[in-house]
Amino acid sequence: MIEMHRRNSLLLLLISIFYFTQIIFNIVIEGIESIFPPAIFFGIFGLIMILLILKKVNAKFTMYVMVGSMYIYFYYLLNDSPYLVNYLFMWLALPLSAIYQQIKAVLMSGIASIILTFYSFFYLHDEIFPNVIKEDFIYLVLFGIFITIFHITFILKIRAANDKLQDLAYHDPLTGAANRLLLKEKFDVMKYENVDSIALLFLDMNGFKNVNDTYGHEVGDQLLQIIVLRIDGVLRDTDLLCRLGGDEFIVLTSNIDQSIVEKIADRIQSALEKPMILDQHIINVSASIGWHYTTEVLNANLDEMIKEADRAMYKEKELKDLPGSTIN
């Protein structure tokens, strides 16, 4: 959602640059009086867009309003100044819409471009297409369909590449759990959305070094993968499991009270205490879990919450004096 708000701001900037480029052409062709009344419509739409962005109105709604406003503006522009150059400028709205990397936005833009092409060809034909026979209209439509499909294909390719890059950038390559970068981003999103509460659980596996020392790091890596699967199995879809490194993990959750945090810790502990079978050996593990909880979301600091949860974890480890992993 934050990224889409950024794209809304970027599109508004590009539209403004595009608009002032376009009016320079019109001034050269017709003089300064040619930019009115379309300039009035642009000013109105521009103010609406600025308000939507500043007020952080639903990002998708703002996206559709921005795309729709571009074509409403072009409709009035083509009626007021029916020139081929303005018709060609209209087609630039399609790649501008592709900035969102949203197929619906591109489809909306492609359909609107074809509709305006139909309107321009049959109702403004003598002004814009004086030397084009009406039988050639089908080629303009095919061009519109082709360019729309091209942008959709491009978006799908970009999405696939971005997914791979994000997976590498945001996830631990061994276990698939989130890494610290994604933890920070998720934490910032929670603060941005102003959730009611944020809780952070710090997990440290007890005696994990015994496994590595006895069977080697390959078995230790397999054990970490199973641990992540078991923890994920007791979390909500909105919770985030992050591997800090080694055998240390963080669980980030929100919109819960302190009693629920304790229940989450108990569920994780119960899931981990079930015996794990690796390389024909039964391995029993447990974790020391500390947590920190706050309802002061806007003032919350990720590093401070990690430190507090870490301290709570060590207190639990000292109190219970856990023996760690056992191997059979």
Q: Which of 221, 247, 266, 310 is catalytic?
A: 247
Q: Which of 113, 86, 112, 71 is nearest to 29 (CA)?
A: 86
Count of C-beta atoms within a 10 Å radius of residue 190: 21
Query: For 327, phi and psi rounded to 5 degrees?
Result: -125, 130
Token pair of 58, please? 């639903």
Long-range contacts of 231-237 (CB under 8 A, 24+ apart): 231/203, 231/268, 231/271, 231/272, 232/177, 233/271, 234/264, 234/267, 234/268, 234/270, 234/271, 235/264
In whole angstroms, give the CA distance from residue 116 to residue 109.
10
In whole angstroms, give the CA distance from residue 38 to residue 73.
7
The residue ranges of every structural domain in the chain are: 1-169, 180-321
pLDDT one digit per residue (tens) for the chain, 328 residues: 667 878 888 888 888 887 788 778 777 877 777 677 767 877 888 888 888 888 878 888 999 998 998 898 889 889 988 989 889 989 999 999 999 999 999 999 999 999 999 999 999 999 999 989 988 999 999 999 999 999 999 999 999 998 888 888 999 999 999 999 999 999 999 988 879 999 999 999 988 888 888 888 888 999 999 999 999 999 999 999 999 989 999 999 999 999 999 999 999 999 998 888 887 778 888 899 999 999 999 999 999 999 999 999 999 888 765 454 444 4
DSSP string, 9-49: HHHHHHHHHHHHHHHHHHHHHH-GGGGTTHHHHHHHHHHHH
Instruction: Calculate the CA dihedral of residues 175, 178, 181, 187 and round it to 10 degrees.
Output: -160
The verdict on whether 80 is a catalytic residue reads no
34, 26 contact by CB (below 8 A): yes
> What class does CATH assign to 180-321?
alpha beta
The residues with which 284 forms a beta bridge, in sequence order, are 326
